[in-house]
């Protein structure tokens, strides 16, 4: 066990292990995650495994089926398309509002989030989970700056880490670079206070991501 893992609770260790297994494809979409098996593998009781699975469900990696248990979650191409279409419109609105409402402190926070994203995408080998987390943080920061809490809540419901990780797993190097360029352009638009530009950029950014994800997988996001 590495040093970082030693300081985690049993539930956190199980969460990290299962999330890593899902993200790296060791647990396939639709595979049942058996509490007893994971408890034995991680040398813990079933309670921390159950807690980890609940958290994984909240983060979008797992789905619970009544009377059957927890399964690795997947999305159909139609579901992916619908999620991105809704995100493009709602997050476009949020970006426009953010450009109009951002103050210096908000821009400073967004700049830091952008820098962390850039560091994540340059990490070798590529860490899909880290990239997903930093992307989530960047988009969340823009939603926060918008000042519309209900809009933020709705958008975050369609932007869980499980979905983002599945999406970024489909990205090649060119797609990652394109995403970075989009983030830089969005940051510039918010600095300028240009709401129309920020809205257009966000819509284009998200719809472009949808095209890339669906192009890589014409059936299911698995």
Q: Which value, in Å, is the radius of gyration of the alpha carbons in the chain?
A: 18
pLDDT tens, 135-182?
999 999 999 999 999 999 999 989 988 889 888 988 999 999 999 999
- Identify the three-state secondary structure at position 180: helix
CA–CA distance from 8 to each of 17, 58, 72, 133, 204 (Å)? 12, 19, 23, 19, 40
pTM over 0.75? The answer is yes
Reported as a pLDDT band with limits 50, 70 and 90, residue 3 is very low
Terminus-to-terminus CA distance in the chain, angstroms? 29
Taking the mean position of all CA atoms in its chain, how far away is CA 210? 14
User: Is the C-alpha dihedral spanning 188, 189, 194, 195 positive or negative?
Assistant: negative
Q: Beta partners for 70?
A: 33, 64
Averaged over 41-64, what is the pLDDT? 94
Nearest to 95 by CA among 206, 202, 222: 202
Q: How many CB atoms lie within 10 A of CB 3?
A: 6
Nearest to 94 by CA among 136, 147, 146, 150: 146
């Amino acid at each position: 066990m590495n040093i970082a893992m030693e300081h985690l609770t049993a539930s956190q260790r199980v969460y990290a292990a299962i999330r890593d297994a899902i993200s790296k494809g060791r647990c396939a979409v639709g595979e049942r995650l058996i509490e007893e098996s994971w408890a034995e593998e991680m040398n813990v009781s079933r309670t921390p495994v159950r807690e980890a699975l609940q958290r994984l469900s909240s983060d979008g990696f797992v789905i619970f089926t009544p009377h059957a248990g927890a399964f690795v979650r997947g999305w159909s191409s139609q579901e992916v398309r619908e999620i991105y279409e809704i995100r493009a419109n709602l997050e476009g609105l949020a970006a426009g509002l953010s450009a109009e409402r951002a103050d210096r402190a908000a821009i400073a926070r967004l700049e830091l989030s952008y820098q962390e994203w850039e560091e994540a995408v340059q990490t070798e080998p590529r860490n899909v989970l880290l990239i997903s987390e930093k992307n989530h943080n960047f988009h969340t920061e823009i939603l926060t700056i918008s000042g519309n809490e209900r809009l933020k809540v709705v958008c975050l419901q369609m932007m869980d880490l499980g979905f983002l990780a599945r999406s970024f797993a489909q990205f090649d190097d060119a797609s990652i670079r394109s995403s970075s360029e989009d983030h830089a352009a969005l940051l510039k638009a918010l600095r300028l206070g240009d709401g129309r530009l920020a809205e257009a950029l966000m819509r284009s950014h998200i719809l472009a991501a949808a095209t890339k994800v669906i192009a890589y997988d014409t059936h299911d996001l698995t």
